[in-house]
Structure 1
């Protein structure tokens, strides 16, 4: 997986160290250096006007120190501290810095820091994508064993009416709720479920095979009711069209 473009800046008051960092950055195609600065004050304009993802930040700077400045940065900006003093390492890591580089910085050590940053970014992006996917999934709440249970619609196989309660069969188990199948049908979005019997409501996409009398879901043959034969036939035809 190729890393996405990463906008970075250097805040370093020692010219040799700044030049060395720039040379290391140039060896990574996805790192886009947006500026070099001698102090945090000089870097403020760039941070306010451009999207900066990563800061190479010297701890010992004139005016405000790198540690103080790091505390004011947004949490989504990665920080790689640089310093000639190893005693500052602990304080740097307490700020959730990506890494801590001791001067003079070798290319090998710099590469490890960048690899670490890339792994953190990949994990963060994957987590965000999962959260977005989770948020977009449709669901229904049902009262089950005195609790309101959240069931995702894409995990439901079918509903079965049993007297005054309803059984909900899902990919992970079966749940019992006291409501009618008609009440449940009214709560569900159109097009995803189909009534095939007075006692059965099925998830259309979960049907694996069918004939004139039954539909099969998860190796379970469910009967087609006489009163639902015509509507079920249309439903099954829609399945064939999607294949």
Structure 2
């Protein structure tokens, strides 16, 4: 597991020392500092990326709960307190856990395991979003299952009756939805409707004429109602190429 930068904000020395001892038992927890108030921790929060804060609630000056509300989403909080009445409010602000003093190693370990699972889930979500941005995809229902199709692999869509054929670089998929529904789902600028039955990937067009376009060895007709919009897109592509 990657190192987790953490700090302790606790004004009671015995509790602070105990937390430090527990943290030392986990190799992946990197304690960056111990503080007795929110104000004294501000500098390290500005100079370091802190992943996790062990935060007391009853603190001099700003309370732990008030401080937690001001933190960025990527900084997680495990509340430590001697009072059970703050539990509900603590969880309302998405704290990872709420542990009561004196904190046993067993209870501390449980909180860390919980944080690790939350962190892993967040990392997976961030990775998925990054992948989607770098290599966008759609899920399409084909034969009772959802199939993931990367947009860069799709050549064109063809409507046939009440179903839609999706032609990719490798194979053809069949789904029961209209071509208009599919067009609405796709990001703008990547696909072009050339006919009431055909929606094509612009970057897969290999050649074209006034009445048709070619994608690899497949010739597709341009519908008369789509001539104007298709011509505009193809002329724009040509102009951009000439400028380059």
Alignment TM-score > 0.5, same fold? yes
1:188 to 170, 186, 203: 203
- Which runs of structure 2 are paired with 1:203-242 in the superposition (5 Å)? none
Alignment equivalent of 2:132, drawn from 122, 131, 134:
134
In the alignment, the residues of structure 1 paired with residue 95 and residue 155 of structure 2 have an alpha-carbon distance, to the nearest angstrom, of 46
CA contact (8 A) 1:58 1:66 kept: yes
Gaps of 5+ in 1: 141-150, 201-243
- The corresponding residue for 1:103 is 101
Cα pair distance change 1:156/1:69, threshold 3 Å: same
Query: Quick check: 2:194–2:200 contact (8 Å CA) kept in 1?
Result: no
User: Which structure: larger Rg?
Assistant: 1
User: Partner of 1:203 in structure 2?
Assistant: none
* Structure 1 pair 50–156 and aligned structure 2 pair: CA distance change class (3 A): same
Aligned residues: 183
Call closer, same or farther: CA 1:184–1:7 in 2, change over 3 Å.
same
Is the 1:161–1:199 contact (alpha carbons within 8 Å) kept by the matching residues of 2? no
Matched, 1:179 2:203: no
Q: CA RMSD of the aligned region, Å?
A: 3.1
List gaps (5 residues or longer) in structure 2.
139-148, 181-192, 207-213, 222-244
The 2-side partners of 1:33 and 1:117 are apart by: 15
Shift of 1:135: 1.3
TM-score (norm 2): 0.65
